Amino acid sequence: MHTVEVERLAAFLRMFKNRTERSYESLANRTGVSSSSLHRYCTGTKIPTDFGSIQRFAKECGATQEELRELHRLWVLADAVRRGQPEPADPAPADSPPAAGPPAQEPPRSRFLRRRLAVIGATALVLVAGGMTVLLVSAGRQAGPPAVDGPMLLSSACPPVVSMGQHDECVREVQTLLSRAGAKIEIDGDFGPATLRRVTAFQVLADLQPRGVVDEATKRALYDRKVSMAGWSPEQVERRIREVFPEEPDRAVGIARCQSFLDPLHVLTNTNGTRNWGVFQLSDRLLAELGGTQRQAYDPEWNIQTARRAWSRHRDFRDWEHCDQPFRTSSPPPSSSG
């Protein structure tokens, strides 16, 4: 499975490993991935089935946010290979004669002439290629985005997978289609975190695997226009939260705003690869505990009611400890003197 995509991912992982003097065993203990798997990822003999494992590995090696985005892009391309998308190698012609021992010695003069012809031919190819490059660049400047027949994302003008880090007309097309589906999104041609969140939400609503990349299935679903991403406004969300949490309405609204900006389709990926969903950012763990799905978590009514169920277990907001911090008293209550 040594393709260009796999080698690039492995080389990127080796770059992280070379930054640190820590062993694979040490990194394995901190990432929850076996040392043998990490070694195979770095040598390209195995492709991770989920991004979270190598994301944790890269973070342990000091990767920056920009490097993590590039790592995600490389993993998506390599994962497509793992799923059976690489083109097969061209087989040798059936009538090719088998090799019959070492070649006969070539006379010195023949070798000299052959080398001279090779140099002349290579020089000519470089000149032709250079001329073609100038022509192509000039044509690109004059023509702008290539004209395509039919859906742009399904044409040769766009890569098989549109993903994080891209900035082009293909991303702009994705954003335009998401906007037409009712998503609140800026159409700037930049596949950043905001677009990643909307793509993931669309995939959940379309009953697709929420990988956060625009593969062929996602492209076709975008063009089918059967998924609506229109939903509650922040004002509607706030009003409903106050109704469901009459004991502490301000606190509940403040936590939800901290979690999702009152956005019913918000999604956030954690450092361990799990994700949080919807208004109250219900975690994968909490969804499993309370018997819910990612699709249900995007329903603001279900999300708010489920957050109420979680609150009712202890009558506090311990499941949202980080966002609840500002609402806690900073000093202990005064003690009564005897």
Q: Please give the CATH superfamily to which domain 157-224 belongs.
A: PGBD-like superfamily/PGBD (1.10.101.10)
Q: What totals of helices (H) and strands (E) does the chain contain, helices first?
A: 15, 3
Task: Output the furthest CA–CA distance in the chain (Å, rounded).
Answer: 112
- Quick: pLDDT tens for 105-119: 545 555 545 555 554
pTM of the predicted model, to two decimals? 0.59
Q: Angle at CA 77, nearest 5°, toward 74 and 82? A: 120
pLDDT value at residue 243 = 98
The boundaries of every CATH 1.10.101.10 domain in the chain are: 157-224
- Quick: pLDDT tens for 124-138: 444 444 444 443 334
pLDDT value at residue 146 = 56
Buried b (16+ CB within 10 A) or exposed e, 288-307: eeeebebebbbbbebbbebb
CATH architecture of 4-82: Orthogonal Bundle (1.10)
The boundaries of every CATH 1.10.260.40 domain in the chain are: 4-82
CATH class of this structure's domain 234-327: mainly alpha
The boundaries of every CATH 1.10.530.10 domain in the chain are: 234-327
pLDDT value at residue 111 = 52
pLDDT value at residue 118 = 52
pLDDT value at residue 91 = 40
Chunked mean pLDDT (size 10), the chain, 338 residues: 77 84 86 90 89 88 84 83 53 41 49 51 46 41 56 96 94 98 96 94 97 96 97 97 97 95 92 89 94 96 97 94 77 45
